[in-house]
Structure 1
């Protein structure tokens, strides 16, 4: 007869997600995972799978959080351009407040080049984030607040890729003001 789990699945997933986020995938050992989750190895393997499976679950969980953040932020304002700007500033401010790069961005550089499962998960989840931005860009174009006739998908991809640039600048400069000036510049360019 199987034992009932005596721990909260999502809570433990968040604990190890934060460990991967802090240390990175490659620097996180099973010993680190066991210590942070405060579970024995067999419980971890039985519930979450091996380290790679666990990482994919953590990454998917984090991507869901980001999707919800984008969706929630996109509904705060009625006009497309205002909602788009709110999403962009919300994402940047969250990163600056957390004082760490987005887990997705870190994973793109650390793991995705050599791991097809991770790469595919990021591509799929990234399309969802891009779609949210694309819809706001298209709305703003229709409303006349974005003058560019560029494809909304191109603008959305550009915005999404800008987030990693803001973080890399902040890592080097620790200058929040400069990052926010970069966001101001992005918004000026989008509205042209």
Structure 2
């Protein structure tokens, strides 16, 4: 008779994700994971697999949470430009208030170039964010909140690149004002 799993797998994935998020894939030991998940290593291997498989599941979980956040924002009653500005401001707050603000960016630099599955998950996450931004920018153009001379696809790509750059800049310089000023400059240029 199969043994019942003695832990909440979804919660365990959340705990493991937080450890990977803090320490990165290479900096996280199996012991770190099992301690955080409150399970032994045999339970991990029997239910999820090895560290690599757990990491893949954690990245999927993280990107699913991000996608749910984007969907929640789209359903907002705010105008497209207001949603976009709030998204930018929330990103700046996250970048400047947490040591490990974006697990996707951190993972892209650490693991994605070596692991095809991780790269594909992050690629899909980026595509979801890109579609979200394009939708908002196109809607803002239609509502005359953004000039119709703007290219929505270019603006979406540009903003995604800037967010990654702000993350890197904050890691190196720890200058929150610099990040906030760049964000406000972009918002000002966008809403001219």
Q: TM-score, normalised by structure 2?
A: 0.91
Kept in 2, the 8 Å contact 1:74–1:86? The answer is: no
Kept in 2, the 8 Å contact 1:84–1:136? The answer is: yes
CA RMSD of aligned residues (A): 1.7
User: How do 1:103-122 residues align onto structure 2 when only pairs under 5 Å count?
Assistant: 103-122=103-122
SS class of match (2:113): helix
**Structure 1 residues 75 and 178, CA gap change in structure 2 (3 angstroms):** farther
- Distance in 2 separating the partners of 1:86 and 1:62: 21
**Structure 1 residues 18 and 95, CA gap change in structure 2 (3 angstroms):** same
Aligned to 1:83: 83
SS class of match (1:144): coil
SS class of match (1:26): helix
- Distance in 1 separating the partners of 2:149 and 2:119: 31
- Distance in 2 separating the partners of 1:40 and 1:95: 34
Aligned to 1:177: 177
CA displacement at 1:98 relative to structure 2: 2.8
- Distance in 2 separating the partners of 1:138 and 1:32: 45
- Distance in 1 separating the partners of 2:111 and 2:2: 35
User: How do 1:36-55 residues align onto structure 2 when only pairs under 5 Å count?
Assistant: 36-55=36-55
Unaligned runs of 5+ in 2: none
1:22 to 2:22 alignment: yes
- Distance in 1 separating the partners of 2:189 and 2:77: 20
**Structure 1 residues 178 and 9, CA gap change in structure 2 (3 angstroms):** same
Q: Which moved more, 1:145-154 or 1:11-20?
A: 145-154
Unaligned runs of 5+ in 1: none
Kept in 2, the 8 Å contact 1:73–1:83? The answer is: yes
Q: TM-score, normalised by structure 1?
A: 0.91
User: How do 1:1-192 residues align onto structure 2 when only pairs under 5 Å count?
Assistant: 1-147=1-147, 149-192=149-192
